[in-house]
């Protein structure tokens, strides 16, 4: 629910460093290639294939920023990457915190919608009244109607057999979207998600987390705790819709691993919070695993690393680990 351990942003500075590295490599290798009588391979640069657009969206929001890295090999299959509860409004945290753009070097178009803080990427009942939000969140409609239409019309990308992957809040949303839109998504990934919202105390926990993320009112999202909408967005309850769908589902143990090196006092606080959040996700993910097993749903691959807290470096590892399975499922 809260994403931790944010590293340096991968904006202009990171691209400049990447360009310098590429230049040095080219200077070193080009003479060797000429001496051997072969051409030096072209260096991959995902940012040369980056497309940014403001895509029309329903619900009165107007437009939503979407950044897309086109696949180097011309593939028309995509992965939609969904953020966590504190999704920023400038760039997706997948861009801020990971090297996800480089998936486009491996035959997958990388689609990163920007925004959606505390939205669960769902269609809300009302605008958020605690902040006088002037529009209603309609993320499910946008991701399954407006966005694929735009990608098909402007970049020639397929509306079907794509992947959707999310972490934390986005992990919940990825499974729900895939369960409802099987014509669009042939693969789903849920990293450190909260996949059993009907468990005791979870609806109250979600409500508190949304308030903490920016005074978002869960009643405006899915209504009071007894509203059926809560069940409709619970992967544990909606598991039948995932039958036959290839999935990658993971959660760490909550124990700090190689990517957790706290030094300042705030680092120790963030680490302790991340440990607790991941331990809760682990319990939820184990329950979801049992749920699928009892139903005979055997198309999900579960990963439970011995270490890992609720933090970006561990999610980046999982994203690359799932790539072969993802590509096989979507035909990239």
Give the total number of structural domains in the chain: 1
- Classify residue 174 by burial, with Cβ atoms within 10 Å: 0-12, 13-18, 19+: buried
Give the pLDDT score at 262: 86
Q: Let me know: does 40 contact 26? Beta carbons within 8 Å.
A: yes
- Active site amino acids: 168, 278, 310
Give the pLDDT score at 15: 38
- Report the CATH number at residue 260: 3.40.50.1820
Is residue 169, in this structure, part of any structural domain at all? yes
Give the pLDDT score at 83: 98
Q: How far apart are CA 324 and CA 34, in angstroms?
A: 34
Asked whether the predicted pLDDT for residue 58 surpasses 60, the reply is: yes
Is residue 7, in this structure, part of any structural domain at all? no
User: Mean pLDDT across the chain, nearest whole number?
Assistant: 89
Q: Which is higher by pLDDT, 163 or 270?
A: 163
State the helix-helix crossing angle for 312-321 and 323-330, rounded to 10 degrees: 50
Is residue 28, in this structure, part of any structural domain at all? yes
Q: pLDDT digit string (tens) for 7-30? A: 434 443 333 334 433 333 333 332
Q: pLDDT digit string (tens) for 138-154? A: 999 999 999 999 999 99
> Is the overall model pTM greater than 0.75, yes or no?
yes
Give the pLDDT score at 45: 84
Is residue 27, in this structure, part of any structural domain at all? yes
Is residue 240, in this structure, part of any structural domain at all? yes
Is residue 2, in this structure, part of any structural domain at all? no
Is residue 59, in this structure, part of any structural domain at all? yes
Give the pLDDT score at 42: 41
What average pLDDT does the segment 150-173 reach?
A: 98
β-bridge partners, 109: 78
**What are the CA-CA distances from residue 158 to residues 78, 147, 165, 195 (Å)?**
8, 11, 17, 28
Binning pLDDT at 50, 70 and 90, where does residue 1 land? low
Asked whether the predicted pLDDT for residue 129 surpasses 70, the reply is: yes
Q: pLDDT digit string (tens) for 189-232? A: 999 999 999 999 999 999 999 999 999 999 999 999 999 999 99
- Asked which of 19-23, 40-44, 226-230, 236-240 is least confident by mean pLDDT, the reply is 19-23
List the domain range (segments joined by +) for residue 276: 12-330
What average pLDDT does the segment 224-246 reach?
A: 97
């Amino acid at each position: 629910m809260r994403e931790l351990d944010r590293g340096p942003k991968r904006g202009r500075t990171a691209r400049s460093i990447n360009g310098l590295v590429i230049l040095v490599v080219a200077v070193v290798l080009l003479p060797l290639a000429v001496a051997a009588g072969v051409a030096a391979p072209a260096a991959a640069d995902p940012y040369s294939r980056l497309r940014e657009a403001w895509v029309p969206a329903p619900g009165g929001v107007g437009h939503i920023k979407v950044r897309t890295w086109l696949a180097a090999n011309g593939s028309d299959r995509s992965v939609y990457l969904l953020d966590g509860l504190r999704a920023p409004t400038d760039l997706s945290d997948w861009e801020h915190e990971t090297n996800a753009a480089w998936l486009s070097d491996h035959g997958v178009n990388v689609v990163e919608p920007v925004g959606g803080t505390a939205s669960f990427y769902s269609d809300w009942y009302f605008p958020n009244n605690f902040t006088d939000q002037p529009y209603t969140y309609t993320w499910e409609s946008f991701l399954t109607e407006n966005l694929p239409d735009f990608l098909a019309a402007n970049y020639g990308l397929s509306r079907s057999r794509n992947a959707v992957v999310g972490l934390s809040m986005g992990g919940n949303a990825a499974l729900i979207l895939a369960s409802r839109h099987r014509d669009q998504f042939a693969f789903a990934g849920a990293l450190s998600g909260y996949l059993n919202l009907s468990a005791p105390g979870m609806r109250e926990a979600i409500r508190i987390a949304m308030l903490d993320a920016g005074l978002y009112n869960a009643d405006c999202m899915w209504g009071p705790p007894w509203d059926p909408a809560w069940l409709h967005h619970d992967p544990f309850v909606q598991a039948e819709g995932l039958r036959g769908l290839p999935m990658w589902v993971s959660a760490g143990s909550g124990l700090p691993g190689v990517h957790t090196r706290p030094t300042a006092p705030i680092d120790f606080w963030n680490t302790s919070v991340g440990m607790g959040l991941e331990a809760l996700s682990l319990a939820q993910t184990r329950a979801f695993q049992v749920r699928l097993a009892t139903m005979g749903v055997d198309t999900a691959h579960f990963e439970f690393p011995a270490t890992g807290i609720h933090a970006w470096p561990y999610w980046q590892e999982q994203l690359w680990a799932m790539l072969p399975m993802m590509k096989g499922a979507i035909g990239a």
